[in-house]
A and B are shown apart, each in its own frame.
Chain A
Amino acid sequence: MQLKFRHFCIILSLIFTFSLIVAIASLFIVPSPSEIIDSMRSAEMIYSLKLTLITSSISTVIVIFTAIPMSYALSRYSFWGKSIVKSIIDLPMAFPELVLGLALLLLFGKTAIGSALSYVGINIVFTKLGIVVAQVFTALPFATRIAYTTFESINPRYELVSRTLGYGEFETFKNVTLPLAKDGILASTIITFARCVGAFGAVLILAGGSYMNTEVLPVTLYLNISYGNIGMAITSGIVLIIVSFIAIYAFEKLEGAKNVSKNRKPEHRFRRVQT
């Protein structure tokens, strides 16, 4: 049988998916269950899980409350510097997380801004606060992108109708735009949380990744791999995978349920009957 182009494409995608599934499955197959349970009960794992959930929750709240106004501004208003904001938002998609961490480390460690902040008692470098800062910077662009697409999909005429009926800009946003954007914002929140939980490079550099201090799940995985402690590493990997699977599942659900689409104005034409 001749190998056609389409067979090539299909087979390649199947091979890749299969390898990924096997790789993920090996996470669950390689260690013994007792090893995982022991690791789960260790003080280090409990500390790391707790710290991850707390920092990620705080970061998610900060990110969403920043991403909503940012993406709304990008979608609805034209202002000075808009194109710069837009490209900066796109940058971290391709920007290495480690370099982002390094840049943040320099900003808060080596500049006047950093010294001013530590003068008033706000220490970001090698602290738990640093974890939050690194997570926020990693996740914000993603959250803004999803929220932006959501706002773009809502016809601004809904807002104009609300305005003409007597409601101001903020009231209209609250009564009309936000309820219509609900699913997209929920999806954005889930992705943000997943990004925060999995943020590694920037967190490691800015917060230091020190044992039982600034140790979040990805750092636990990294530290234990370096010590040769495979059980602990795999367990943190499993926890991370579970979090991201839940996030992906919920995201797919919400994206599928999205139903408010921009109503384009069709050009009206007379019905033509040739007799």
Chain B
Amino acid sequence: MFLKIENLSIDLGEFKLEDASLSVEQGEYAVLIGPTGSGKSILLETIAGFYRPEHGSIKLKDKELTVLPPEKRNVSVVYQDYMLFPHMNVYDNIAYGIRKKRRSETDIEQSIEKVSNVLKIKHLLHRHPDTLSGGEQQRVAIARALVVEPELLLMDEPFSALDIKTREELRTLVKDAMNEYRTTVIHVTHDFEDVFALATQVAVLHEGKIIQVGTPEEVFSRPVSEFVADFVGTNALRCTIEKKEDSGCMLNCNGVKLWCADSGTEGDSVTVAIRPESIIISREMVHTSARNVLQGTVQSVVTRGHLTWVTVKVQNITLRVVITPNSAELLNIHEGVEVYLIFKASGVRMVR
């Protein structure tokens, strides 16, 4: 295993980690998600060497990092607020790290040439950080972190301070840069778009513990607990198994009958997760192969970025559905409208 974090515990009062364990393979792009105060930033800064853990260990390529000072770890950090040295220009900011490692100035120039091509910042090299836009500053910060060719790149909400368009540009740039430098990344974020665009692995943190690790598909469609289901936006419902069938079972969720493709024991209480994007909204009753068709009333319509979240009340339960703002407009979906929700039995997943 390339990076192995085992039972890491640290208590800083306001934030803490409790027995956090995480393994990341070389070349992996791991994204850490979790609510505010869940310990994401602490985990990053402990890996970087800012904090000494109370117990547990961090191993990079079988080398024990836990007791090494930050300068001996070969781990770079990129922060949300860039942290470019204000007393140096862009070139000197990027050169800062390699000047420590390499002697010849031509060598340094070549490395900077390469990284500034990858991140498209060649025209900025002689500017001062305070004259750059947020997106430009963050490109410089990423260049400064990458140019030393770190074993591991840590990014703490790198795009959070940027507007949506710049964020998308940066995601593409970062993707290209990681392919170019073949860097292993741990990226902390609040924004699920980062997960879908970049992650090969996702870890969910809650109250200082890592509660689920997996591919984005795994975490989003099979949350291990109600907390994860709720956090990642999946609909999580408490149901009882009413009837067992060959191809699954019928559930009773607070009076609403749902078909589920997973099997279980009759009479058991279970939590099921339904991905908001696996539900189809229709204004009319339609006959499809999907077994679940529910009639409900739209309670709220909220647009976040380029997604529209629709909350629909079906008898005693509410379901969240995600559609594009375009579809919302075409279907004329607004508060109080009667709609049909259609989803397959296989879209209803039992959560432990």
Whether B97 pairs with A160 at a CB distance below 8 angstroms is no
Chain A contacts of B79 at CB under 8 A? 157, 161
A160 surroundings in chain B (CB, below 8 A): 45, 48, 50, 70, 77
Q: Is A115 an interface residue (CB 8 A)?
A: no
A162-B96, A164-B75 given; A267·B36 CB < 8 A: yes
CA distance A273 to B301 in the complex (A): 9
Task: Select which of A167, A263, A270, A274 is within 8 A of B71 by beta carbon.
Answer: A167
Contact of A164 with B87 in the complex, beta carbons under 8 Å:
no
Residues of A contacting B308 with CB < 8 Å? 275
Nearest B residue (CB) for A268: B160
B234 interfacial contact with A, CB 8 Å: no
Contact across chains for B48 and A164 when beta carbons are under 8 A apart: yes
A274, B302: Cβ atoms under 8 Å?
Answer: yes
Closest to B191 in A: A268
Q: 0/1 per residue, B123-149, Cβ < 8 Å to A?
A: 000000000000000000000110010
* A164 and B100 alpha carbons, distance in the complex (Å): 11
Known A-B contacts A160-B48, A275-B334; A166 and B148 likewise in contact (beta carbons under 8 Å): yes
Point out the residues of chain A lying under 8 angstroms from B86, CB to CB: 180, 259-260
Contact B87 A180 (CB under 8 A): yes
Number of residues of chain B lying within 8 A (CB) of chain A: 41
Q: Return the contact of B305 from the options A176, A263, A270, A275 (Cβ within 8 A).
A: A270
Is residue B328 contacting chain A, with contact meaning CB distance below 8 A? yes
Q: CB-CB < 8 A to A166: which residues of B? A: 71, 97, 100-101, 148
Question: Does B57 interact with chain A (Cβ within 8 Å)?
Answer: no
Residues of A within 8 A of B (CB): 155, 157-158, 160-169, 175-176, 179-180, 259-260, 263, 265-268, 270-275
Q: Contacts A162-B85, A164-B73 given; 10 further ones with Cβ under 8 A? A: A157-B83, A160-B77, A163-B71, A164-B77, A164-B145, A165-B144, A265-B157, A268-B161, A271-B164, A272-B302
User: Using Cβ atoms and an 8 Å threshold, which residues of chain B touch A175?
Assistant: 96
Q: Distance in Å from the Cβ of A221 to the closest Cβ of chain B?
A: 42
Chain A residues, CB < 8 A from B101: 166
B76 within 8 A of A: yes
- Alpha-carbon distance between A274 and B302 when the two chains are bound, in angstroms: 5
**A167 and B95 alpha carbons, distance in the complex (Å):** 13
1/0 contact string of B295-317 vs chain A (CB within 8 Å): 00000011111001000000000
Q: Which of B36, B83, B191 contacts A158 (CB 8 A)?
A: B83
Question: Does B190 reach chain A (CB closer than 8 Å)?
Answer: yes
Q: Are B157 and A165 in contact (CB under 8 A)?
A: no
- Asked if residues A165 and B304 are in contact (CB atoms below 8 Å), the reply is no
> Within the complex, what minimum Cβ distance (angstroms) separates B311 from chain A?
12
Question: In the complex, which residues of chain B have a beta carbon less than 8 angstroms from the beta carbon of A161?
Answer: 77, 79, 83, 85, 144
- Chain A residues positioned under 8 Å from B80 (CB to CB): 265
- In contact, B69 and A165 (Cβ under 8 angstroms): no
B49 touches A272 (CB 8 A): no
Give chain B residues whose Cβ lies under 8 Å from the Cβ of A165: 71, 76, 96-97, 100, 144-145, 148
Q: Is B277 an interface residue (CB 8 A)?
A: no
Indicate the member of A163, A168, A180, A263 with the most B CB atoms within 10 Å.
A163
**C-alpha spacing A274/B86, complex, angstroms:** 40
Instruction: Using CB atoms, name the residue of chain A closest to B190.
Output: A268
A271 to B164, CA, bound (A): 10
CB 8 Å contact bits of B19-58 with A (1 = contact, 0 = none): 0000000000000000010000000010011100000000
- In the complex, A158→B70 CA distance in Å? 13
CB-based nearest B residue for A264: B81
- The 5 sampled A-B contact pairs (Cβ below 8 Å) are A161-B85, A164-B75, A165-B96, A176-B85, A268-B157
With A260-B86, A274-B302 already in contact, the answer to whether A164 and B71 are too (CB < 8 A) is yes
Closest to A165 in B: B97
What's the nearest-Cβ distance from chain B to residue A171, in Å? 8
For chain B, residues 191 to 207, give those with C-beta under 8 angstroms from any C-beta of chain A: 191
Most B Cβ at <10 Å: residue of A155, A165, A275: A165
CA distance in complex: A267, B50 (Å):
21
A263 near B81: Cβ-Cβ < 8 Å: yes
Closest 3 CB pairs of A and B: A165-B97, A163-B70, A166-B100
